[in-house]
Structure 1
């Protein structure tokens, strides 16, 4: 039969929609036509496929070859369809039984020698393939990543000839074994490494317990970056689904997914010269940005006022919604972006408020590089002061709490939140705040007065309540009380600096 249908999948965001590769051989002048909204890389597959077939010992049909990538309105890009097109031509020539192809899906780029190269996005490809109860055929270099999907069927191949022998039953290839779930769960650093800075460590514990965003304000060298890195060590471990979501984003971005570390949360630290597209994603063929690469992990923005104001402001919507929608003329994609924001900054352009080198006007101008609406989305602003040399020396032999000890309290507080509302406190909406964060009349008046004195917005007002709810959870108390509110209001370091300089 001169018609064959082979299955593959496109890559659209984190999804992998099915693509049917229809190959038809007809009499007439030799030609090779490829249709179906293919980009330049897909159209160039004609030459790769021709050379790969010839160099693998096959005869290239001297016929009119038409390859249709269906559905025709779905954009296709990259070299992932090469082996599917090649197998389609071989099958249409009568060398492979069409029944053999019904339960397979192919993805791989062909070298001119007939070797099969890996693709980006092997994980979402195999996930979609598994849900369709099909067997995925991929490059052997993609197999370790694809096998992260438990109970999926994956066959790894190195050459087109090897694949042909498998499909014809002459040399059957075994299914790849799924990777062991025994992966690394520990980080190389610990909260016990940090001496002093009890207020900052308390702020991190609250941040981890309620999934809050946090800003460290302090002079250079006070340990802001060390604190940010150690937040990972006290966060709950990712679930299987969360780990797969994060790994999928890395897979479609072309990053290697290491089976040993894929269950660890990511820590992304973009430089302050990064553009808005680098942070949220984009391009003519939209790719994930830093906020999506930090999905289920930490996005650390050091030297916060050095970022362009408009760059920071593009983060406002993803911080609230947990995803980013990127629209281009040819397509629209949605990427998840549920990250915890950790930021750090100096309190003045010279590094310290107490060095006498900055006027109040200069300090306010420096802080005002960050917009108010962006700051409203940060739950805790924690002061990280410079410690005296004598104080540091006295702490050398001090035993600090380990990450494991703090993590136990964090997990207990999180479980209380899940049992109460089904989500972390930071994700509560206004109706849920009224339901789960009730205040007495006196406490509400106290909070309203404090918020007015600090000049906070209604969004910041709600965030103070949510932080107080988390503090109460860490104390295993069912109701928010005045001490919880007072402590939550104490984590407004930047607001306090602004008010002090203005008045």
Structure 2
């Protein structure tokens, strides 16, 4: 007997439905599987055979052929165990075939017949909904994640016996998750930072417009301390953004059992991280840190200590907000819309320009900072110096506190929401030249200052527009409709002198 049920495969962070065709016919008792299968999918026949046997289900000694279609898509993952088992049960008359066609199935089987949790449930359920399915059976262990999706009934099953009962009786109970979206509770407050008002202001501007930030300063000046507090003032994410983040963490196997991610991510890889771990890839493409930081912050401490090729690999993700990995059997794309926050010492010893401590000569300093390539610096919106903290500032309460900074960020976010309500962007940092022309009006004096700086500082076209974007954010912070001279002047001050690179 022939029957067909539906499963799914995950490519990148998106799910694609797969037809699992089963034929049980007379012939030698063999179990064949075809359809461009990975090793773990081929191994599923052993798991399925043992699971059915240990659940007390007798499979007749006949020829069993499984085809996973379309054959052009490589099938990876253990989520095909459940649809394969259901297909066999339909073919031998244990499960109602017509009822089974109404469901999408996904889950790994243990040898005793239990349905085990898998990675990538949210993209799979989302694919089921987009392809017209109203019901989906997944592992009970993934139920909180699966029920994030809207418009589809998601049923959790602990074992094959439950799956049989659910499909045959076509009765089940679905309870939606009680979701709490929002932001991180403030654990580290900016009021703890002594001095460094100029650096904290730069960090505030960066968060308001989601601009890339580079802090250069001596060891112990508070660069990492400031970066670690930035996640707590990030703008509150929309539910759609949290769903995107959850999909990424789901396919990466980094999602906990609570379901929807609650806040924007903060990722801080070590400077020994490889290019592969940072941008993603591998024989079987996986997300890198740039994707795990999607809609949040990617903090690179000791930026100059990263390998040059690793830093340069950030060029494309910083511009395109995504990573596309190409392999012979297809391409997959991972989102990578992150805010880069980086910190670096000014030289190898870290104390330049204090000649009482620094033993590096000018060429040593230039050589050290040249590890950060010019094209990367050109893509960074705000560069700020973090000097050593003065003794008079030690122990003093900071001028800034995270609660007040949050309010400023939310105010600027609302201004940007109103500005970009008819476009496909959310923040000033995402403006293209067309947006800038229509939404970043400058006074004559501001435009004159910008043009003078462009000529005298030999700025690139990218730097020119980045100055305008930062100035637009500064103007928003001050409730100014137009970009004024002081806004441009401050934004120009955040450009790093290319002559030191």
TM-score class normalised by the smaller sequence: over 0.9
Task: State the 1:320 CA deviation.
Answer: 1.1
Aligned mates of 1:418, 1:163 — CA distance in 2: 46
What 5-or-longer segments of structure 1 have no aligned partner? Answer: none
Q: Does 1:412 align with 2:411?
A: yes
In the alignment, is the contact (CA less than 8 A) between 1:272 and 1:302 conserved in 2? yes
How many corresponding residue pairs? Answer: 492
Query: Secondary structure, in 3 states, of the residue corresponding to 2:247?
Result: helix
Mapping 1:352-367, distance limit 5 Å: 352-353=351-352, 354=354, 355-367=357-369
What 5-or-longer segments of structure 2 have no aligned partner? Answer: none
In the alignment, is the contact (CA less than 8 A) between 1:183 and 1:260 conserved in 2? no
Q: Summarize the Cα distance change of 1:176–1:400 in structure 2 as closer, same or farther, 3 Å threshold.
A: farther
In the alignment, is the contact (CA less than 8 A) between 1:217 and 1:384 conserved in 2? yes
The equivalent residue for 2:148 is 148
Structure 2-normalised TM-score? 0.94
Mapping 1:144-293, distance limit 5 Å: 144-150=144-150, 152-169=152-169, 174-183=172-181, 185=183, 186-259=185-258, 262-293=261-292
Q: Summarize the Cα distance change of 1:164–1:258 in structure 2 as closer, same or farther, 3 Å threshold.
A: closer
Q: Does 1:489 align with 2:487?
A: no
Judge which range, 381-390 or 23-32, deviates more: 381-390
Q: Does 1:391 align with 2:390?
A: no
The equivalent residue for 1:382 is 384
Judge which range, 467-476 or 430-439, deviates more: 430-439
In the alignment, is the contact (CA less than 8 A) between 1:138 and 1:154 conserved in 2? yes
The equivalent residue for 1:79 is 78
Query: Secondary structure, in 3 states, of the residue corresponding to 1:81?
Result: helix
In the alignment, is the contact (CA less than 8 A) between 1:150 and 1:178 conserved in 2? no
Task: State the 1:361 CA deviation.
Answer: 0.4
The equivalent residue for 1:473 is 476
RMSD (Å), alpha carbons: 1.9
Q: Give CA-to-partner distance per residue, 1:13-61, whole Å, 9 cap, x none.
A: 1111111111111111111111111111111111111111111101122
In the alignment, is the contact (CA less than 8 A) between 2:264 and 2:295 conserved in 1? yes
In the alignment, is the contact (CA less than 8 A) between 1:143 and 1:176 conserved in 2? no
Aligned mates of 1:110, 1:53 — CA distance in 2: 10
Query: Secondary structure, in 3 states, of the residue corresponding to 2:367?
Result: helix
Q: Does 1:443 align with 2:446?
A: yes
In the alignment, is the contact (CA less than 8 A) between 2:115 and 2:158 conserved in 1? yes
Q: Runs of 4 or more off by more than 6 Å in structure 1?
A: none
Query: Secondary structure, in 3 states, of the residue corresponding to 1:238?
Result: coil
Judge which range, 237-246 or 90-99, deviates more: 90-99
Task: State the 1:151 CA deviation.
Answer: 5.0
Aligned mates of 1:165, 1:417 — CA distance in 2: 52
The equivalent residue for 2:106 is 107
In the alignment, is the contact (CA less than 8 A) between 1:200 and 1:384 conserved in 2? yes
Query: Secondary structure, in 3 states, of the residue corresponding to 2:177?
Result: coil
Aligned mates of 2:325, 2:260 — CA distance in 1: 29
Query: Secondary structure, in 3 states, of the residue corresponding to 1:5?
Result: strand
Aligned mates of 2:358, 2:235 — CA distance in 1: 43
Task: State the 1:317 CA deviation.
Answer: 1.3
In the alignment, is the contact (CA less than 8 A) between 1:179 and 1:259 conserved in 2? no
The equivalent residue for 1:21 is 20
Structure 1-normalised TM-score? 0.93
Task: State the 1:184 CA deviation.
Answer: 6.3
Q: Does 1:88 align with 2:76?
A: no
In the alignment, is the contact (CA less than 8 A) between 1:212 and 1:426 conserved in 2? yes
The equivalent residue for 1:32 is 31
Query: Secondary structure, in 3 states, of the residue corresponding to 1:141?
Result: helix
Aligned mates of 1:184, 1:352 — CA distance in 2: 40
Task: State the 1:260 CA deviation.
Answer: 7.3
